[in-house]
Amino acid sequence: MQHASPARVRSASPRKRSISPRKGVLQPSNLRRMLHNSLPENELQEMVESLFFETIPRKNVESLEILPMRNERLRCRLLQTVQRDGGVWSRLRIAWHLPGGVNAAEAILHHGIQCDEEHCACGRYGLGGYVALSAAKANAYADSDGAGGCRQLFMVVALPEADIVKGERGIRPARTAADLPSHPTELCFVDSARLYCTCLLRYNWVPTGRREKIATAGSRVSHVVSRTPSRGRRSLGGSTRGTSQSPPDSHA
C-alpha cells in the first residue's frame, strides 16, 4: 500500500492571488479526475491551494506544504461507494479534517478517518467522524486561545447521503448528520467509506494579533514556532489507529 508522498513546497504569499473556485475547481469533472489520479500535479496543487485560501487569510499562513495522498485502497473504496450510490458525482463535497495530533494524523494516512463507535466517543452533532465544509472552520478547532504554530489539515472528498439528518449530542446517527442540514458547516459521518483524504496540508499558523505585535519589536521573527524535522520525505504512517477529531463543546 502506498502512503502520502510529498509534493513540492508551496509558500503562501499575500501578493499572490488564488484562482477563484467559481472558475471551475469544484466541478464534478475535476473531482472525478482527482479521484482517478488523472489530474496533473500542478493543477492539483493549484486547486488545493485555491480551496484552502478561499476561507483562510494568506497573511496568517507561512511555509505551506501540500502533500498528495497515495493510498489506493482508500481511494478505490470511495470510488466503489460513489458507484454503489448511483454514480452521482455532483453530491461529492470538498471538506477538511483537523487531526487530533501527530499520532492521529499518522493513523489517518493508513486507515482514513475512522467513523466507527470505537473511535468516536463524543461530538456535539453525534458519534462519528467529523469534517468541516471550510478550511477556516476546521482550522479554528486547533486551539481556543488564538495561539499559532505548526498545523496539519487534511483535505477530504466526502460523499454524504442525499438526505442528511440533524445531529444530536451523544447519539450515533443512522446516516450522515449535520449541524444544520439545510445549510451545513460540518458533517458527522458513520461510514468511513464515504470519506477519502486526498491531501495533507502542513503550515505555520501566524495569528494576526501576534504578527502586528512582533512587527514593532524589530527584525527578530519570534512568532514562528520552529518546525519539527519534516517526515514528508519518507513514507508517512503508523500502526496506531487514530481517533477522529470531534468538535469540542466550545465551538458551534
Tell me the C-alpha to C-alpha distance, in Å, between residue 62 and each of 43, 158, 230: 21, 27, 15
* Mean pLDDT of all residues in 23-44: 82
Grid look-up 500542478 returns: 42
- Cell numbers that stand for 85 in this block: 450510490
pLDDT at residue 161 in the model: 95
Does pLDDT of 244 surpass 60?
Answer: no
pLDDT at residue 143 in the model: 67
pLDDT at residue 25 in the model: 52
pLDDT at residue 13 in the model: 42
Give the distance between the most distant pair of CA atoms in the chain.
60
Q: What is the pTM of this model?
A: 0.74
For residue range 139-180, what is the model confidence (pLDDT) as tens digits? Answer: 998 865 667 899 999 999 999 999 999 999 999 999 999 999
pLDDT at residue 70 in the model: 87
Does pLDDT of 220 surpass 50?
Answer: no
Measured distance between the N- and C-terminal CA atoms of the chain, rounded to whole angstroms = 37
- Residues of the chain with pLDDT > 90, as a percent, come to 57
CA separation for the pair 74, 76 (Å, rounded): 5
* Mean pLDDT of all residues in 216-238: 33
For residue range 70-120, what is the model confidence (pLDDT) as tens digits? Answer: 899 999 999 999 999 999 898 999 999 999 888 999 999 999 999 988 777
- Cell numbers that stand for 212 in this block: 502586528
For residue range 109-135, what is the model confidence (pLDDT) as tens digits? Answer: 999 999 988 777 778 899 999 999 999
Strand, coil or helix: 156: strand
Q: Which of 160-169, 209-218, 228-237 has the lowest mean pLDDT?
A: 228-237
Q: Which of 14, 23, 76, 28 is nearest to 46 (CA)?
A: 23
pLDDT at residue 148 in the model: 83
pLDDT at residue 31 in the model: 86
User: Domains of the chain by range and CATH?
Assistant: 21-215 (3.90.228.10)
**Greater model confidence, 94 or 17:** 94
Q: Which residues contact 2 (CB under 8 A, 6 or more apart)?
A: 70, 71, 72
User: Residue 43: which pLDDT band, with cuts at 50, 70 and 90?
Assistant: very high
Helix, strand, coil % over all residues of the chain, rounded to 5: 30, 20, 50
* Average pLDDT in the chain: 78
What ranges in the chain are assigned the alpha helix state H?
Answer: 28-35, 41-52, 72-84, 102-111, 135-139, 208-215
Burial class (CB in 10 A: 0-12, 13-18, 19+), 238: middle
Q: Which of 13-17, 139-143, 191-195 has the lowest mean pLDDT?
A: 13-17
